[in-house]
């Protein structure tokens, strides 16, 4: 049975902006979860794949270590880092190797490989249905790379944070990097452009002040959750969190949609 936690996830003295968070314990355990375009997918320690449907987890055939869902569709990578696209309810292996993958861009794909090299797949290729795909290499080195409505964000092996300018559906490589203050092990961008991240202690942060005119935003705000987390993702007003032992939380975030102007 799903259990409503209300404020019990919040530490004493939580900032007022987060005081109305309503958090729900979701049954099951996952090691990675991704939300986007109104859908949620995740994988567990056995590499089994699940989709959140009608308030329950539906197992999807196949084995993946990382899955993603967004405007670019549903994609995953397996233990051999082989990239797969979920097409007609079947996983289709495509050319290329990635350890982390993100479908949150405007129907374009992005990710990082085992050497922290960064790649993207422009919009027409994600929609092509072909198994032979030419990924675009992006200069730099990141262990985690995620895209949304107002650009792409990433974290490198030193937990430095970077924003990529001028990323477009048919020119997904963008133009230049901007270092952003802070230290995070992962940065996740929601479909609406919201940005959340996690530091090396498992603390969760939200990027404030993001808009189309100011895609980098203004500052990081720590969400005053108790405990330590291993993964965070956001979509459609809901923040999904995984604890270090794989417990799943879904928290309603009021007013998290970023302005378009």
User: In angstroms, rounded to a whole number, what is the distance separating the alpha carbons of residues 248 and 129?
Assistant: 33
Tokens 């055939």 locate to 61
Average pLDDT, the chain: 91
Tokens 């960064």 locate to 118
User: In angstroms, rounded to a whole number, what is the distance separating the alpha carbons of residues 170 and 150?
Assistant: 15
Q: Which fold has domain 28-252?
A: Methylamine Dehydrogenase; Chain H (2.130.10)
Q: Which residue has the higher pLDDT, 3 or 229?
A: 229
So what's the pLDDT on residue 224? Answer: 82
User: In angstroms, rounded to a whole number, what is the distance separating the alpha carbons of residues 69 and 40?
Assistant: 7
Entry pTM:
0.91
Task: Answer yes or no: are the C-beta atoms of 186 and 195 closer than 8 Å.
Answer: no
pLDDT in tens, 34-89: 999 999 999 999 999 999 999 999 999 999 999 999 999 999 999 999 999 999 99
pLDDT in tens, 240-258: 999 999 999 999 987 555 6
So what's the pLDDT on residue 8? Answer: 41
Q: What SS3 state is found at 102? A: strand
Could you report how far apart the first and last alpha carbons of the chain are, in Å?
42
């Amino acid at each position: 049975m799903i259990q409503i936690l209300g404020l019990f996830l919040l530490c004493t003295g939580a900032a007022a902006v987060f005081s109305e968070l309503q958090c729900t314990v979701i049954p099951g355990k996952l090691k990675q979860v991704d939300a986007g375009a109104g859908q949620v997918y995740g994988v567990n320690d056995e590499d089994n794949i699940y989709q959140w449907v009608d308030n329950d987890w539906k197992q999807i055939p196949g084995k993946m270590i990382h899955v993603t869902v967004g405007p670019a569709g549903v994609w995953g990578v397996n233990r051999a880092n082989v990239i797969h696209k979920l097409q007609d309810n079947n996983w289709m292996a495509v050319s290329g190797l990635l350890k982390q993958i993100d479908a949150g861009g405007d129907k374009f794909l992005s990710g990082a490989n085992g050497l922290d090299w960064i790649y993207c797949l422009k919009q027409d290729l994600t929609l092509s249905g072909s198994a032979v795909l030419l990924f675009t290499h992006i200069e730099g080195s990141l262990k985690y790379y995620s895209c949304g409505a107002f650009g792409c964000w990433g974290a490198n092996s030193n937990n430095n944070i970077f924003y990529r300018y001028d990323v477009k559906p048919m020119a997904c490589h963008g133009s230049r990097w901007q270092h952003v203050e802070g230290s995070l092990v992962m940065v996740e961008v929601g479909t609406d452009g919201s940005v959340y991240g996690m530091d090396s202690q498992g603390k969760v942060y939200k990027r404030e002040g993001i808009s189309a005119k100011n895609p980098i935003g203004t500052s990081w705000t720590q969400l005053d959750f108790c405990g330590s987390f291993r993964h965070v993702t956001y979509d459609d007003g809901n923040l999904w969190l995984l604890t270090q032992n794989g417990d799943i939380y879904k928290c309603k975030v009021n007013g998290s949609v970023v302005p378009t102007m």
